[in-house]
Amino acid sequence: MDLDPSPEQAALEQAVAKIDDYGALADGGYLDAVRDAGPVEGVLVVEHAAAALVDGPVAARVLAGPLAGVTDLPPTVGLVQLDPAQGVGSAHRAGGLVRWAPVCDAFLVLDGDRTRLALRDDVEVEPVESAFGATYGRVTVHRADDLGPGEPLRRAWRVAIAAEAEGLMLAAVAKTSAHVTERHQFGRPIGAFQAVQHRVATAYAMAMGTRWLARRAAWYATDDFICASAAAYACEAAQFTYVNTHQVTGAIGITSEYGLVGWTTRLLGLRQELGGQRAHARAVVAARRAMAKPWPSPLPLP
């Protein structure tokens, strides 16, 4: 293993770090980073776009589609999980609000155990107001082309959740670290208090855990266990980061002008995707139980 970025990856990071606009990502060819360079490059693009709060479905378009094997996609793609209770029929309602739905040209649809592709004219989108850092919509899928089994998309979606989450978390932690260093109360920076330091340090450690797990998941995108673990851990780390960055930032943290909410509200939105943390956790166990073990248990059984 070599976990240092290659010169090409370092150059990619430098280039993407200057971009805070979806159109510029598309114009620069960065939406096809997975196809053109590899899965880690896709994660790097998503990390930076998340930190820069780029508006648009970056993680879906850059990671989820290509890692699921769908590379011929229009510039904007939404991710839809159909409500299994609706069954297969002429009109399927998404199981929840769909992030970025009002701006998407196409939708990758997880329909039970199948992956489908619906174009904009194949769906009905009802925009929904939301405070959670993105435009949302209720999506009804009228028709969609079958692309194959659903598991590749389910895994890829989980990788996308983890990669976006770690980019958001590390940006929120960086903002918070600067704040607690500059903000003085009781005669000293509040970041000098261990009670504050440890909250920020723990958030950083969990965000870094998500980062390296997301990168591993992208690399091993056919591994159910790693991909589900990445999404489950990302959800937990996101919740911790949301709570603790706001706690040490104080009231200023809830204002739009200050900016912390840009990252934290998106984190809370991500936590709701694909069934959320509990569904990811159940998938982790199912995958683990299906794995072959090299050894009998190193603990005696009853």
Partner 1 sequence: MDLEWTDEERAFRSELRAFIDAHRRPGWSHHEREMPVPADRDAVLAFCAAMGAEGLLTPHWPTQYGGRGASPWEQTIVSEELWAAGEPRGPQYMNVNWIGPAIMLAGTEEQKRHHLGRISRGEAMWCQGFSEPGAGSDLASLRTAAVRDGDVYIVNGQKIWTSYAHAADHCALLVRTDPTTSGSEGISILLVPMDLPGIEVRDIPNPWMTHVVHETWFTDVPVPVSCLLGEEHQGWEIVRQVLANERVGIARHECAERTLDATVEWASAEGVDVDEPSIAEILGMAYATCEAARALNYAAVHERTVDQGSRRPMAAVSRAVTGPMETRVAQACLEVLGPEGLARHSPAERQLLMGTTGPIAAGSLEVQLNLIARHLGLPKG
Query: Under the rule (CB under 8 A), what is the footprint of partner 1?
Result: 1-6, 9, 40, 173, 177, 180-181, 188-189, 191-194, 196-198, 200-202, 204-206, 208-210, 212-213, 215-216, 219-220, 225-226, 228-230, 232-233, 236-237, 277-278, 280-286, 288-289, 293-295, 297-302
Rounded-to-integer distance, Cα 80 and Cα 83, Å: 9
Query: Are the C-beta atoms of residues 22 and 55 closer than 8 Å to each other?
Result: yes
Smallest separation, CB 114 to partner 1 (Å) = 23
123-to-58, 117, 120, 280 alpha-carbon distances in Å: 20, 11, 6, 27
Would you list the DSSP string of 133-180? Answer: SS-EEEEEES--EEEEESHHHHHHHHHHHHHHHHHHHHHHHHHHHHHH
Cβ distance to partner 1 smaller for residue 257 or 293? 293
For 67, phi and psi rounded to 5 degrees? -70, -25
Q: Smallest distance, Å, CB 223 to partner 1?
A: 10
103 or 230, CB closer to partner 1?
Answer: 230
> If you compute the radius of gyration of the chain from its CA atoms, what whole number of angstroms results?
20
Q: How far is the CB of 272 from partner 1 (least distance, A)?
A: 16
Q: How far apart are CA 246 and CA 188, in angstroms?
A: 20
User: Phi and psi dihedrals of 3, rounded to 5?
Assistant: -95, 5
CB closer to partner 1 out of 144 and 260: 260
Looking at the Cβ atoms of 130 and 272, the one nearer to partner 1 is 272
129 or 293, CB closer to partner 1? 293
Min. distance of Cβ 202 from partner 1 in angstroms?
Answer: 6
- Taking the complex as a whole, the smallest distance from the CB of residue 177 to partner 1 amounts, in Å, to 5
CB of 221 to partner 1, least distance (A): 11
Q: In this complex, which beta carbon is closest to partner 1, that of residue 7 or of residue 89?
A: 7
